[in-house]
Amino acid sequence: MSKKNETCSFCGRPAQHGLLLLSGYDAFICSDCVENAHQIVQETLKASKPAPTETDFKEVPKPKEIKEFLDKYVIGQDAAKRTLSVAVYNHYKRLSHIAQAEEVEIEKSNIIMVGSTGTGKTLLARTIAKLLDVPFTIVDATIFTEAGYVGEDVESILSRLLQACDYDKSRAERGIVFIDEIDKLARKQDNPSITRDVGGEGVQQGLLKLLEGSIVNVPPKGGRKHPDQEYVKVDTKNILFICGGAFDGIETKIAQRLNTHTVGYNNVRRTMKIDSHDLMKYVEPQDLKHFGLIPELIGRLPVLTYLMPLDKEALRRILTEPQNSIVKQYISLFKMDGVKLTFSDEALEYIVDEAVRYKLGARGLRSIVETVMTEPMFEIPSTKKKTLTITREFAMSQLQSHKPEMLA
């Protein structure tokens, strides 16, 4: 403890008015000087930190390694996982290629994923973010409006990417952006609009320059609320864009295309080979155009992949197998209270059957399990019970009591 006559060896102030002095070998330093010294050290280290170098190609996970990581969290969807793995791997290779200043310029290949709700589009994007040491952000296309109208401009996508990498512009320019609900930007008819489509076609046109690659003035604080802020110039040439959407009803467009000109023996044989239960696998860029995406946007998303609708077997695996499965999450929650939670096979089958009936995909599983577990999560922490088994009868009673209209 410092004495009244002791002074700071740096600033010379005495230990008065509650000033804290830290003693060392024949010297003292006050708390204020410690804080100032810490700030100087941080600023010096930040200034002397070397600029981030291009991605080290040797450390990039191979496509098979990326897919193996995705397999731990996402059940099925092999076609989409393969496409994403190759696209991300090529994105890194392209950055390395640019760093080597090769003569042949490799263009980036943005991706669009088509799949009904709850099939895992957003989960795939989030899982890739866990694996990659690269700035990554997920944005919802429904919040954007055409420039000059109430809502967010498309440039705010890059504002979020900058935030994800602590405003390191050089890292942001090598990042990945996932734009969800891209199908909600579809124009109302399959022809150019003669009026303003503020939240649809207008936003699609605003996205063109971002997807293709250009230098964009980005408001770092995002939007029009800070008109005096300095803009950050971000080059989107090396940013990989992944778009996803449910495209609800696109199966009708696909079916119309596949059933066109069925006259003739060869066309009849071709029609017989089509899997009418899963038309999504036959999706093509022209189907996206008929749905309402403008051709210019489709051309900037050259890689098209699809996600299969989840059947009963896939939903059963999703419920228990992934590392962050719904069942494992609840087991961990009850373990914190010292309770061992188990689900009977009959209960899991019942939950899966209900999810299939609701047609909400994996999201339906979450809502059903949440309803079943609400009562136990309320009662068990106040008891001394150490084990809990969820049976089919209990799950059925909980759903009947909480959501009778869903079971009518």
The mean of the pLDDT values for the chain is 81
- Unique residue bearing structure tokens 């002397």: 48
CATH number at residue 332: 1.10.8.60
For 175, counting Cβ atoms within 10 Å of its Cβ (0-12 exposed, 13-18 middle, 19+ buried), the class is buried
260 shares its domain with 354: no
User: Are 170 and 189 found together in one domain?
Assistant: yes
Residues 79 and 23 in one domain: no
Give me the pLDDT at residue 81, please: 92
Instruction: State residue 28's pLDDT score.
Output: 83
How many residues does this entry show for the chain?
A: 408
Range of the domain at 137: 57-306
pLDDT: which is higher, 101 or 90: 90
- Residues 148, 237, single domain; the answer is yes
Distances (CA, A) of 201 to 37, 94, 131, 144, 195: 54, 31, 34, 11, 10
Q: Is residue 65 domain-shared with residue 45, that is, in the same domain?
A: no
Angstrom distance (rounded) from CA 374 to CA 66: 36
- Cα separation of 62 and 135, whole Å? 19
Q: Do 106 and 252 belong together in one domain?
A: yes
Instruction: Assess whether 222 and 331 both reside in one domain.
Output: no
CA 53 from centre of chain: 25
From first CA to last CA, the distance across the chain in angstroms is 75
User: What is the 3 state secondary structure string of the chain?
Assistant: CCCCCCECCCCCCECCCCCCEEECCCCEEEHHHHHHHHHHHHHHHHHHCCCCCCCCHHHCCCHHHHHHHHHHHCCCCHHHHHHHHHHHHHHHHHHHHHHCCCCCCCCCCCEEEECCCCCCHHHHHHHHHHHCCCCEEEEEHHHECCCCCCCECCCHHHHHHHHHCCCCHHHHCCCEEEEECHHHHCCCCCCCCCCCCCCCHHHHHHHHHHHHCCEEEECCCCCCCCCCCCCEEEEHHHCEEEEEECCCCHHHHHHHHHCCCCCCHHHHHHHHHCCCCCHHHHCCHHHHHHHCCCHHHHHCCCEEEECCCCCHHHHHHHHHCCCCCHHHHHHHHHHCCCCEEEECHHHHHHHHHHHHHHCCCHHHHHHHHHHHHHHHHHHHHHCCCCEEEECHHHHHHHHHHHCHHHHC
Q: Answer yes or no: do 186 and 140 share one domain.
A: yes
Does one domain contain both 70 and 129?
yes
Predicted confidence (pLDDT) at residue 193 exceeds the cutoff of 70? no
Compute how many other C-beta atoms are within 10 angstroms of the C-beta atom of residue 9: 15
What pLDDT shows up at residue 198?
59
pLDDT tens digits, 219-256? 776 555 555 667 888 889 889 999 999 898 888 888 88
d(CA 178, CA 121): 10
Q: Report in angstroms the alpha-carbon separations of 20 from 13, 184, 219.
A: 11, 60, 43
Structural domain ending residue among the three candidates 265, 287, 306: 306
- Contact between 322 and 69 under an 8 Å Cβ cutoff? The reply is no
- The pLDDT of 328-352, averaged and rounded, is 93
Residues forming beta bridges with residue 343, ordered by sequence position:
390
Using CB atoms within 10 Å of the CB of residue 377, give its burial: 0 to 12 exposed, 13 to 18 middle, 19+ buried: middle
Bridge partners (DSSP) of residue 7 are 14
Tokens of 298: 């489709």
Same domain assignment for residues 248 and 149: yes
pLDDT at residue 60, as a whole number: 75
Specify the pairing of strand 215-218 against strand 232-235.
antiparallel
Q: Are 66 and 193 part of one and the same domain?
A: yes
CA 193 to chain centre: 31
Q: How many domains are there within the chain?
A: 3
Report residue 55's pLDDT band, with 50, 70 and 90 as the boundaries.
Answer: very low
The region that residue 181 occupies, defined by phi over 0 for left and psi between -120 and 50 for alpha, beta otherwise, is left
Whether 170 shows a pLDDT value over 50: the answer reads yes
Mean pLDDT of 68-84: 90
Residues 7 and 61 in one domain: no
261-284 per-position pLDDT tens digit: 444 555 555 555 676 667 888 899
More reliable by pLDDT, 359 or 240: 240
Among 279, 306, 333, residue at a domain's last position: 306
